[in-house]
Amino acid sequence: MAHDDESSPGRVFSLFEANQLIPQLQSHLTTVQQRKTTLLRTREEVQKASANALLGGGTAVGKHYVMSLQDINSSLHAIHELGVVVKDVDLGLCDFPHVRDGRVVYLCWRLGEKEIRWWHEVTTGYKDRCPLEDPA
């Protein structure tokens, strides 16, 4: 895997390279989903504390809220640095730019899938993905 173009927006992946990143992506996306759940659970409490801030109010969950935001940001940044495009956090949906038949398409992977088995055109999305075995 080339290292000098990892932050370049023009990075493309072979199927092998993309599949090698799945363990990292699983870890990052699981963290994002777990922290998002924490945010949703604590949001109401944080909003109440924020509204009462002038009265000296605070909340013990504020720290968890801020840490969750930081973890989400770090995980999404790490995925972006790999050159992978996150399409949907809730689905754990990622696209990898890939050259197929001389043009750039997206290899498409969803959290929970063991390996990449799908692709779609850059102008389409998840619902239009095609099996990799089929001719383009």
pLDDT in tens, 84-100: 999 999 999 999 999 99
Q: Are strands 130-131 and 118-121 parallel, antiparallel or unpaired?
A: antiparallel
Q: What is the mean predicted confidence (pLDDT) over 25-32?
A: 98
Q: Structure pTM?
A: 0.80
Confidence of residue 44 (pLDDT cuts 50, 70, 90): confident
Q: Which residues pair with 120 in a beta bridge?
A: 106
CA 42 to each of CA 8, 53, 63, 75: distance values in angstroms, whole numbers, following the listed order: 36, 16, 10, 20
Q: Do residues 20 and 96 touch, judged by C-beta distance below 8 A?
A: no
Q: Which amino acid appears at position 59 of this protein?
A: T
SS3 state at 49: helix
The pLDDT of residue 134 is 53
